[in-house]
């Protein structure tokens, strides 16, 4: 178990390397009956709303450059019908086992600025049995894009995690 020095209180806290964001409101409102539209489930945390919008929970994995683990975030992304269906068709017609789909982050990531309606690319791996999608590209030039490419230091992660303990 690893710890970090909190930037708020100075105490030592457990280093968290995995965060899973809750279901977005659009899914929760449908499952609770507040919104009356169709919802199809096609995998763990993977939905299709009204046969139009695909909502998935991909993994955003940021390397920690001075630690043996990565900072993994399960966030929520929506992919429009045309993009999703065209890429699935491409998988079926070719020998590709992996390809990228363009989507948009549903809710901003609170500790990274510039993530409102962030365009991303999600990798779909046909052989992945757990239906795990991975974010491989960020469309906008923001700090998160640099972290995805170059990694984050344990000290930078401490700045992100400190408010979660208070």
Q: In this predicted model, what pLDDT tens digit does every residue of 25-73 receive, in sequence order?
A: 999 999 999 999 999 998 888 899 999 999 999 999 999 999 999 999 9
Given a contact cutoff of 8 angstroms between Cβ atoms, the answer to whether 133 and 148 are in contact is: no
Given a contact cutoff of 8 angstroms between Cβ atoms, the answer to whether 15 and 164 are in contact is: no
pTM: 0.89
Instruction: Give the residue-averaged pLDDT of 107-116.
Output: 95
**The tokens of 161 are what?**
């995690």
Q: Tell me: the pLDDT tens digits for 67-78?
A: 999 999 999 999
Measured in whole angstroms, the distance separating CA 126 from the mean position of its chain's CA atoms is 18
């Amino acid at each position: 178990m690893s710890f970090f020095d909190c930037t708020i209180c100075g105490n030592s806290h457990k280093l968290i390397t995995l965060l899973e964001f809750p279901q977005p409101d659009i899914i929760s409102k449908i499952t609770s009956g507040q919104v009356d539209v169709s919802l199809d489930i096609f995998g763990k945390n993977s939905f299709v709303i009204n046969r139009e919008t695909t909502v998935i929970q991909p993994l955003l994995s940021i390397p920690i450059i001075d630690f043996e683990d990565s900072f993994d975030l399960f966030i929520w992304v929506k992919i429009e019908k045309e993009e999703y269906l065209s890429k699935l068709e491409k998988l079926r017609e070719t020998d590709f086992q992996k390809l990228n789909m363009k989507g948009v982050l549903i809710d901003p990531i609170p500790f990274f600025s510039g993530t409102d309606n962030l365009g991303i690319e999600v990798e779909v791996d046909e052989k992945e049995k757990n239906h795990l999608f991975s974010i491989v590209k960020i469309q906008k030039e923001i700090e998160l894009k640099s972290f995805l490419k170059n990694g984050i230091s344990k000290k930078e992660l401490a700045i992100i995690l400190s408010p979660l303990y208070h």
